[in-house]
Chain A
Amino acid sequence: MIDLYAAGTSNGMRARIALEECGLAYTFHPVDLAKGEHKTPQFLAMNPFGVIPVMIDRDGPGGKPLTLHQSSAILVYAAEKSGRFLPKDPAARAATWQALMSGSTDVTPTFGVVNGLARAKEPHAPSVQAFKDRLRALFQVWDGLLGKSKYAAGGEVTIADFSLYAGYWRT
């Protein structure tokens, strides 16, 4: 059984989408970020970075428990554990990594900055606009890519789509 501690953020949803799409049984533990539940000693014992998501697979490799606290790592782990959404062909697999990273390290952090700046007590309008422009530019590239291929990394759904959608979803 897998336990997932997450909230409705892009990173939290990336991990939850991974488990749902890969058909892995799990128990969802909502984490109330507003109440600081991700900063409690109990949570920090699972993830010293104090951020969601955290996944604990009680039946990990070798039958031993495994804890992961990076949404993209959870995404890859779920795909490998289930044998789904990860191409075997080396070129297609490389394309999947590339698209996955764009969703996880380009789109999602940029959205996070926009969201954080916009919610500041005194938002700095030029900074908000600069990061909005950067995010829109990223989406424009993706719009072009998705005009050439059906899915993020080619003709089949892969974990790259889940990574990108998690970043897109809250926009």
Chain B
Amino acid sequence: MPELVAGMPNLERWAGEMAARPAIQRATKL
């Protein structure tokens, strides 16, 4: 549901940083 977070640059910046963390990448790889 990307429309729920559209137009939120600060949230997007933070989420991008979180998604790039190796531990989070390992955790969310199912």
Interface residues of A (CB under 8 A from B): 8, 13, 16-17, 19-21, 23, 30, 114, 132, 135-136, 139-140, 142-147, 150-152, 161-162, 165, 168-169, 171
Contact = CB atoms under 8 A, between A and B. Distances in A.
Name B's interface SS. helix
Given A20-B23, A139-B11, 16 more contacts: A13-B28, A16-B27, A17-B23, A30-B30, A132-B1, A136-B3, A136-B4, A139-B4, A140-B8, A143-B11, A151-B14, A165-B18, A165-B24, A168-B15, A169-B28, A171-B4
Interface of B: 1-5, 8-11, 13-15, 18-19, 21, 23-24, 26-28, 30
Contact of B24 (A21, A139, A140): A21
A82 B4 CA distance: 34
Contacts of A135: 4
Nearest to B4: A136
Contacts of A162: 24
Contacts of B15: 165, 168
B12 to A, nearest CB: 8
Contact of A20 (B1, B5, B18, B26): B26
Interface of A is mostly: helix
